[in-house]
Amino acid sequence: MSIQRVLVVFAAFMIVCAVALGTLEVHPEELGQLLSRIDGDLPGRMHAFIRRWCGDWAWTSLTLPLLQRPAWLLPASLALLAAGLALSVSGRKTAHRSRRRS
């Protein structure tokens, strides 16, 4: 199985997840709320881990704004990233060798 096929399947799965999160919820849910619903202590553990290893700026400037976005945005972004990687892997041209013999 090629890496391109794996990336395409992952992108398709993430698109299905994004559509499911976006359409099945009556009110759009934030990513932080979804993570809290999955595991109530997960945001607290994430906060402690990020502050310890990256610093407080990473929590306030990067992670907190991401957790306030709609939950469907993360799988949609991962799908776009995987699709782009799959296209870039398929776009590589191999060295053309001539089959003519001298």
Domain ranges of the chain: 3-90
pLDDT in tens, 44-91: 999 999 999 998 999 999 999 999 999 999 999 999 999 999 999 876
pLDDT, greater one: 93 or 41:
41
Between CA 98 and CA 22 the distance in angstroms is: 52
CA dist 26 to 5, 21, 81, 85, Å?
A: 34, 10, 27, 33
Its pTM stands at 0.71
Q: Are 72 and 18 in contact (CB under 8 A)?
A: yes
**pLDDT for res 102:** 60
Between CA 10 and CA 78 the distance in angstroms is: 9
Between CA 28 and CA 70 the distance in angstroms is: 6
pLDDT tier, 95 (very low <50, low <70, confident <90, very high otherwise): low
